Amino acid sequence: MVFYRKDQESQQLTDEERRKKKMKWTIGITAFVIFQVVQALFFVLVIMKFKSPKFRVSEFDIQSLNVGTQASPSFDMTFVAPIRIKNTNWGPFKYGASTVNFTYGGVQVGQAIIPKSKANFKSTKKINVDVTVSSTSLSADLKSTLGNQLGSSVITLKSQGELNGKITVMFMFKKKKTSRMNCTMEINTSTKTVQSLHCD
């Protein structure tokens, strides 16, 4: 009877150990599955979420500025345009050569050449380009508008451009993306400074 009871207790311990071992395995497998699901969700929602890099011109110092009068309106200006391409993706953005057009009243008055290059992941590519803008191509109507603006000592220019390229994540996942620049700047002709600069 004593031996039988001991065998029973031994059997119960063995069953208990098995149950604990089985529970540990179940908890371990469940934790592993949850970890994999979280990892997959993070990968899909964060890593694989491709965003168009931001393409902007930053504030700059005017090197030279010559303007006419209200009766004979004109402008000639030179500056170094700080072009910025901010890539918030988890992979580099490789883009082709492009241009940034500076316009007054929808008419091109200057241009900047953007060479083919890339913006590394989670970084901002900085390019400085020499720009000359001139009112020589403006129509009579636009020169009339320019004359009015010169009366208030402010010239409004726009910079517009487009970068076409690909974002590559983990060397295999690729996505075509287009970055567009659309900035408006007000030039104060009295102080010869950028009074305001806004990019959409």
pLDDT, greater one: 176 or 17: 176
Rounded average pLDDT over 98-105: 96
CA torsion, ordered 133, 69, 186, 128, to nearest 10 deg: 30
- What confidence score (pLDDT) does residue 57 get? 96
pLDDT of residue 169: 84
**Mapping DSSP to helix (H, G, I), strand (E, B) and coil, where does residue 37 land?**
helix
* C-alpha to C-alpha distances, 192 to 12, 73, 127, 137, nearest whole angstrom: 92, 16, 23, 22
For the cut 70, the answer to whether the pLDDT of residue 40 exceeds it is no
Confidence (pLDDT) at 171: 76
Tokens 């102080």 map to which residue?
A: 191
Coil, strand or helix: which one is 96? coil
Spatial distance between the Cα atoms of 146 and 152, rounded to a whole number of angstroms: 10
Residue 2 above 90 pLDDT? no
pLDDT category at 3 given cuts 50, 70, 90 is: very low
Mean pLDDT over all residues of the chain? 87
| pLDDT of 21 | 75
**d(C-alpha 55, C-alpha 79), whole Å:** 19
